Structure 1
Amino acid sequence: MKTLKHIFLTILAIGILQSCIVSEKPNMEFFSNSKYDFKGAKFASINVPMVLAKSYIKKALKESGESEETINLVKKASKIKVLTVTNGSKEMLEDYSQYLKDHHYEEWATIKHDGDDVNIRVKQDGDAIKNMLITVGSKEKELVFVDVKGNFTTNDISKMISSVSGK
Structure 2
Amino acid sequence: MKTFKNIFLTLLMISTLQSCIVSEKPNIDFFSDAGYDFKGAKFTSFNVPMLLAKPYIKKALREDGESEELVNLVKKISKIKILTVENGSKEMLNDYVRYLNNSHYEDWATIKHDGDNVNVRVKQNGDAIKNMLITVNSDKELVFVDVKGSFTAGDISKMINSFSDK
The two structures share one fold, judged by TM-score above 0.5: yes
Listed one character per residue, the Cα deviations across residues 44-65 of structure 1 (whole Å, up to 9, x for unaligned) are 1110010110000111122223
- State the Cα RMSD in Å: 1.6
In structure 2, the residue matched to 1:151 is 150
Alpha-carbon distance in structure 2 between the residues aligned to 1:5 and 1:131: 37
CA contact (8 A) 1:69 1:163 kept: no
CA shift, 1:15, in A, is: 1.6
Question: 2:84 aligned with 1:84, yes or no?
Answer: yes
CA shift, 1:9, in A, is: 3.9
CA shift, 1:30, in A, is: 0.7
Equivalent residues, number: 166
Listed one character per residue, the Cα deviations across residues 91-121 of structure 1 (whole Å, up to 9, x for unaligned) are 1100001111111111100000111000000
Q: For structure 1, which runs of at least 5 residues remain unmatched after alignment?
A: none
Alpha-carbon distance in structure 2 between the residues aligned to 1:112 and 1:90: 17
The letter for the 2-side match of 1:125 is: N
In structure 2, do the counterparts of structure 1 residues 66 and 31 end up closer, same or farther at CA, with 3 Å as the change threshold?
A: same
TM-score calculated relative to the size of structure 2: 0.92
CA shift, 1:69, in A, is: 3.9
Alignment of 1:60-79 (within 5 A): 60-79=60-79
The letter for the 1-side match of 2:55 is: S
Question: 2:20 aligned with 1:13, yes or no?
Answer: no
In structure 1, the residue matched to 2:123 is 123
Listed one character per residue, the Cα deviations across residues 127-167 of structure 1 (whole Å, up to 9, x for unaligned) are 10000000000022x00000000010010001111121111
| Percent of aligned pairs with the same amino acid | 75
3-state SS of the aligned residue for 2:139?
A: coil
